[in-house]
């Protein structure tokens, strides 16, 4: 599948990060450390190709700040979805890459439950040992099924010796899952 440029970059950034983490699993001690590292790398990569920002002009703009420039990469934005019970709930995906807004002078009203289009989102589960959490994966599947997110990534990172990152692609290659363990080292 040919991915949009920013999605291809996102996959490569996460793959490279997980490869590095599998060799140095104590460098990033907590999930928030992983989230910050990946989001920073995504921001730099987007900036390098001139795609690091978006325009979304809201009426409440401060004087002199039009056009309103927003970072394309965001951590934990509020996203509304519909659960299997038919009710609406919200979640906070760990990392998102916003897609272009069709009309920057008429951006979605986020106060009324609207949101910017999400090109790519990633959920991260960082655990010690075999504490498998599946809610993040299920949440990402809801977002993909409902076309709230175009492409999704779920990463289960376990600080235990294994074979390193193992990827599975699902949902017509729109959803990449990774079970990442630490690569065995002699010594």
| pTM score of the predicted model | 0.91
Q: Per residue in 167-182, pLDDT tens?
A: 999 988 999 999 999 9
Query: Are 168 and 128 spatial neighbours (Cβ–Cβ below 8 Å)?
Result: no
- Going from N- to C-terminal start, the domains of the chain cover 5-57+66-183
Give the integer Cα–Cα distance in Å for 155 and 33: 14
Nearest to 56 by CA among 122, 92, 109, 96: 109
Nearest to 11 by CA among 179, 187, 177: 177
Q: How far apart, in Å, are the Cα atoms of 27 and each of 23, 31, 45, 46?
A: 9, 12, 21, 24
Q: Per residue in 85-122, pLDDT tens?
A: 989 888 999 999 999 998 999 888 766 656 789 999 99
């Amino acid at each position: 599948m040919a991915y949009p440029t920013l999605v291809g970059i996102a996959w490569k950034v996460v793959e490279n990060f997980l490869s590095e983490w599998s060799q140095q699993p104590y460098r990033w001690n907590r999930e928030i450390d992983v989230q910050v590292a990946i989001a920073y790398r995504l921001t730099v990569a987007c900036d390098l190709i001139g795609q690091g920002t978006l325009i979304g002009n809201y009426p409440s703009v401060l004087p002199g700040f039009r056009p309103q420039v927003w970072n394309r990469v965001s951590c934990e934005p509020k996203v509304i979805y519909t659960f299997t019970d038919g009710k609406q709930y919200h979640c906070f995906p760990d990392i998102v890459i916003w897609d272009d807004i069709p009309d920057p002078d008429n951006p979605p009203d986020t106060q009324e439950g609207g949101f910017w289009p999400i090109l790519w989102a990633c959920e991260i589960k960082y655990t010690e040992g075999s504490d498998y959490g599946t809610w993040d994966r299920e949440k990402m599947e809801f977002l993909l099924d409902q076309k709230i997110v175009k492409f999704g990534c779920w990463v289960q990172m376990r600080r235990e010796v294994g074979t390193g990152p193992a990827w599975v692609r699902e949902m017509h290659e729109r959803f990449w899952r990774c079970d990442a363990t630490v690569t065995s080292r002699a010594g």
